[in-house]
Structure 1
Amino acid sequence: MHAAKPGLRALGIAESYSGREQSTLAGVVMRKDLLIDGAAFTRVTVGGSDATDAVVRLVAGLARRDINLLMISGCVIAWYNIIDPGAVQEATGLPVIVATYEESEGLADDIRHHFPDDPDRLAAYRRLGDRTPVRLHTGYTLFIRPCGISPSDAARLCNDFTHEGRVPEPLRVARLVARGVVRSALCGGVVSP
């Protein structure tokens, strides 16, 4: 992958958690010049263990060969459903950058509290490893877990895709789209202003 390539396309994936049995994942394909070039949706089980499969399913459903990179908003979604970025990278053949936006003491205690009889979930969380802080040109710090891409290239791409604030545009737009889908469903298919 050529990180400087102007036509580079990222698939940003973000969730809108509705507190129900299923949560919505939206994927937005965006070129480096911030042109939106596609979208896809899937569901993930709240409190389940299917987040990695859901991300792989979303990528496969697009059936596109021009996506160069996956950006995912968080590894722990849908009430402790954990995405394995290494498994996503292996299944898709694409580099993965998982981004989070705040410093944290971690979620191990919360996972132990809510899932005391699920050592596999805690082990999956621990395998995620540490996050790398990236200081963006906007002055904000983003925390990333790159997989299949060097931390320096991942940092550069996060900067390139961030227009303002701390959220790279593919992730910001994917989150907005996921929220819109959830709201639309809650409103009987009509999005209210």
Structure 2
Amino acid sequence: MVKDQVRAIGIDDAPFKFSEEDVLVVGSVVRAPNYLEGVLSTRVQIDGTDATENIIEMVDRSKFKDQAKIIFIDGAAFGGFNLIDLEKVNKRTKIPVISVSREKPDFDEIEKAIKHHFEEWEEKYKLVKKGEIFEVETEYKPIYIQKEGIELEEVERLIDLFTQLGRLPEPIRISHIIASGIVKGESKGKA
């Protein structure tokens, strides 16, 4: 069981245009339930393959790494289809990882999109399908998660601990606000 003063890193990408080369990714270091202690950043290629490595490097170089007990990631990819290998992030950082989505993934639609955009689509689709999807109840509506290095019961507890309003944990929401504010000049939209 983790303490209530646990620190999390919430990671989200900024709004982007597919005509751009890369996208800003922000990590917010938050002490439960919502105290912002630090901000991390990196960039990843649009539709690239560097999201996993760049997230690992961002976390590893941070002074907060040894304090973070969980990494929350908004979705399974940044910058379009730059997919994140949760297992690799967990193994290399030695921090449990939870990917959070508002909507249940539609794997048929995802497969169509990947096939349409990439000649070498099989590896990307295999990564999308890696890991079981769990539905987690929140005060409002359920969210859908994938997890690595942590039990479902602890995931539910941490989501409850870090979620103040709405459905998403504060570390993700804060990263979304920061990233969109930097790119757009003012934060817009939902995380």
Both structures adopt the same fold (TM-score exceeding 0.5): yes
Give ranges in structure 2 of 5+ residues lacking alignment. none
Q: Which residue of 2 aligns with 1:123?
A: 126
Residue in 2 that maps onto 1:187: none
Specify which of 4, 10, 13 is matched with residue 12 of structure 1.
10
Equivalents in 2 of 1:52, 1:73: separation in Å?
13
Q: Percent identity?
A: 28
Instruction: Tell me how far apart the structure 1 counterparts of residues 129 and 4 of structure 2 sit (CA, whole Å).
Output: 36
> How many angstroms does 1:192 deviate by?
9.8
The one-letter amino acid paired with 2:112 is D
SS in 2 for 1:143: strand
Contact persistence 1:40–1:61 (CA under 8 A): no
Q: Deviations over 1:140-193 (max 9, x none)?
A: 111111110001110111111111111111100011111122225xxxxxx699
The aligned residue for residue 46 of structure 2 is 46
Q: Please, what TM-score do these two structures have when normalized by structure 2?
A: 0.90
SS at match of 1:68: strand
Give the conservation status (yes or no) of the 8 Å contact 1:22–1:45. yes
Cα pair distance change 1:40/1:167, threshold 3 Å = same
- Alignment root-mean-square deviation, CA: 1.7
Aligned residues: 183
Unmatched runs of 5 consecutive residues or more in structure 1:
185-190
What SS does the aligned partner of 1:43 have? strand
Query: Could you tell me which residue of structure 2 aligns to residue 188 of structure 1?
Result: none
Aligned to 2:149: 148
Equivalent-residue separation in structure 1 for 2:143 and 2:187 (angstroms): 32
Which AA in structure 2 matches 1:49? T
Q: Separation in 1 of the partners of 2:125 and 2:33?
A: 39
CA distance in 2, matches of 1:108, 1:101: 19
Aligned to 2:87: 86
CA distance in structure 2 between the aligned counterparts of 1:61 and 1:17, rounded to whole angstroms: 24
| Pairing of 1:91-130 with structure 2 (within 5 A) | 91-106=92-107, 107-127=110-130, 129-130=131-132
The alignment partner of 1:28 has SS state of strand
